[in-house]
Amino acid sequence: MIQTVGTGKLVVITGPSGVGKGTLVRSLLERHPDIYLSVSMTTRSPRPGEVNGKDYFFVTPEQFQDLIAAEQLLEWAQFAGNYYGTPRQQVEEKIKQGILVLLEIELEGARQIRASFPQALRLFILPPSMSELERRLRDRQSESPEAITRRLNRAIIEIAAADEFDVQIVNDDFDRALAEVELVLFPDLPELSLQS
Ligand code: 5GP
The pTM (predicted TM-score) of the whole model is 0.92
**Tell me, what's the pLDDT at 190?**
64
Q: Residue 153, Cβ neighbours under 10 Å: how many?
A: 10
Give the gyration radius of the chain's Cα atoms.
Answer: 16
Q: What number does the ligand 1 atom closest to the CA of 21 have?
A: 12
**Tell me, what's the pLDDT at 3?**
56
**Residue 193 domain flag:** no
The rounded distance, in Å, linking the Cα atoms of 152 and 53 is 27
**Residue 169 domain flag:** yes
**Tell me, what's the pLDDT at 196?**
47
**Tell me, what's the pLDDT at 187?**
85
Taking CA atoms only, the protein residue closest to ligand 1 atom 24 is 105
Domain residues for the domain of 155 are: 10-185
- DSSP SS3 for 26: helix
Give the DSSP H/E element, type plus range, for residue 76.
Answer: strand 73-79
**Residue 190 domain flag:** no
**Residue 50 domain flag:** yes
CATH value at residue 105: 3.40.50.300
**Tell me, what's the pLDDT at 46?**
96
pLDDT in tens, the chain (196 residues): 555 665 678 999 999 999 999 999 999 999 999 999 999 999 999 999 999 999 999 999 999 999 999 999 999 999 988 999 999 999 999 999 999 999 999 999 999 999 999 999 999 999 999 999 999 999 988 888 999 999 999 999 999 999 999 999 999 999 999 999 999 999 877 655 555 4
**Residue 3 domain flag:** no
Distances (CA, A) of 49 to 13, 55, 58, 70: 23, 9, 13, 30
Q: What number does the ligand 1 atom closest to the CA of 40 have?
A: 19
Taking CA atoms only, the protein residue closest to ligand 1 atom 11 is 105
Taking CA atoms only, the protein residue closest to ligand 1 atom 17 is 105
**Residue 191 domain flag:** no
The rounded distance, in Å, linking the Cα atoms of 194 and 196 is 6
The rounded distance, in Å, linking the Cα atoms of 36 and 94 is 8
**Residue 89 domain flag:** yes
- Residue 191 CA, ligand 1 centroid: distance in Å: 32
**Residue 5 domain flag:** no
Our mutation pick for probing the ligand 1 site, out of 25, 37, 40, counting the most ligand atoms within 8 A of Cβ, is: 40
- DSSP SS3 for 53: coil
- DSSP SS3 for 127: coil
* Number of domain units in the chain: 1
